[in-house]
Amino acid sequence: MIWNENKECMSRDEMSALQGKRLHSTVKYVYHNVPFYRAKLQALDITPDDIRTVEDIVKLPFTTKQDLRDNYPFGLQAAPSSEIVRIHASTGTTGNPTIVGYTRKDIEIWSECMSRCLTSFGVTRDDVFSVAYGYGLFTGGLGAHYGVENMGAAVVPASTGNTEKHIRLIRDLGITGIACTPSYALYLAESLEKMGLTKNDLKLRIGAFGAEPWTESMRTEIQERLGLKGYNVYGLSEIIGPSVSYECECQDGSHINEDHFYPEIIDPDTLESLPDGQMGELVFTTLTKEGMPLLRYRTKDLTYLMPYGNCACGRTNRKMGRITGRSDDMLIIRGINVFPSQVESVILSMEEFAPRYLLVVDRVNNLDTLQIQVELRQEYFTGDFDHLAPLEALAKKLSDKLKSVLSISAKVQLKAPNTIQRSEGKSKFVIDNRKLK
């Protein structure tokens, strides 16, 4: 099934012409409404009239997450505040959130793109769909929610937490589809078995999974244990949220909604464009956004673009490969972006701790866990760990402070001075055991 054949099945010439027209309009729009971009373009001696075709995109400057932080909160907003109807945010390394404002048209585009995704997964108006992404500043919950409603299916805004109740609703309401992180889907399967139920007690048939990396082996396990077919959905708040790209029934790469988001692959070191099939950093330019359009936004995600060609599903939109990692040190834990520098800033705000720490990320019972090992300063170390009460209180204080910044819980393990391994070269701050599983 295809939601919008006019846009998902365009010829390459038609798509390129549409992208060129929309790119010119976007550059003109930000040139006159965003001082940041006007200064950037003027520094390169570029005017909107210099951008006439989509091939001209290479003339434009890149945008980074740091640019968003430096212009916090509304420096990159193009639409008047009176036209912003929703604001989402994600936490950055400096403590300033990345603010993304949406106009009513942006929400409509987002809903349209998500409807394309869901339709490609086989969702119809007869389905009952549970959205188990977090609702709130994170874009996953509301992004999927509006897409389900837009296409006319019934949505159950389950969000996260209270898994046993969620399972009962899946069973009793005859829920046929679910949107969540892949790790939560596996946790759901384990909880189902603990309740004495099996996949045969449910009517689940479709899973829309994203917000964290996952492997084909994880897909297979989810499908076998929940009795559904799992699909990958990709997105990021800065561009719009989930629905930037999506798998179809062929599951051979993800179709990009390229009439709204123009993709490029660059070498993250040289910033040079890379040919089809070559792994590099994914870059997107928004072609229709009003609230906060972005030119050549560096996602830091590593993947490749597939050569142009019609997919067996009938869609002609460009496809991208699976995200294999990131070009920076960001961790994605339970769908939340975590930077070591965020942890470091919290640790250094407390005088009891030395600037020596180690993040240990693992997957236990199919859910991501985060342990933070941190050294005590010598003047706060008694020589042993016999006095547990004060140390437990100190660990809890740090844990609470970290949760307020990271928005996820972390287990804190206090270490004696000089016990975390040092290196003469680049220090290792992260051990990600998920890569070994």
CA–CA distance, 210 with 254 (Å, rounded to integer): 12
Please state whether 392 falls in left (phi above 0), alpha (psi between -120 and 50) or beta.
alpha
284: tokens are 């997107």
Q: How many CB atoms lie within 10 A of CB 184?
A: 25
Cα dihedral across residues 334, 336, 337, 338: positive or negative = negative
Cα dihedral across residues 235, 245, 262, 14: positive or negative = negative
Domains located in the chain, CATH noted: 1-327 (3.40.50.12780), 336-436 (3.30.300.30)
Q: Are 241 and 140 in contact (CB under 8 A)?
A: yes
Q: Are 38 and 65 in contact (CB under 8 A)?
A: no
* Closest of 239, 240, 257 to residue 248, by C-alpha: 257
Q: What is the pLDDT along the chain (437 residues), one digit of tens a residue?
A: 999 999 999 999 999 999 999 999 999 999 999 999 999 999 999 999 999 999 999 999 999 999 999 999 999 999 999 999 999 998 544 467 899 999 999 999 999 999 999 999 999 999 999 999 989 898 999 999 999 999 999 999 999 888 999 999 999 999 999 999 987 898 899 899 989 999 999 999 999 999 877 778 779 889 999 999 999 999 999 999 999 999 999 999 999 999 999 999 999 989 999 999 999 999 999 999 999 999 999 999 989 999 988 899 999 999 999 987 777 767 889 888 787 778 887 888 898 988 778 999 999 888 899 999 998 988 888 776 655 568 888 999 999 999 998 888 999 999 988 788 854 334 578 888 987 66
Residue 219's SS3 state is helix
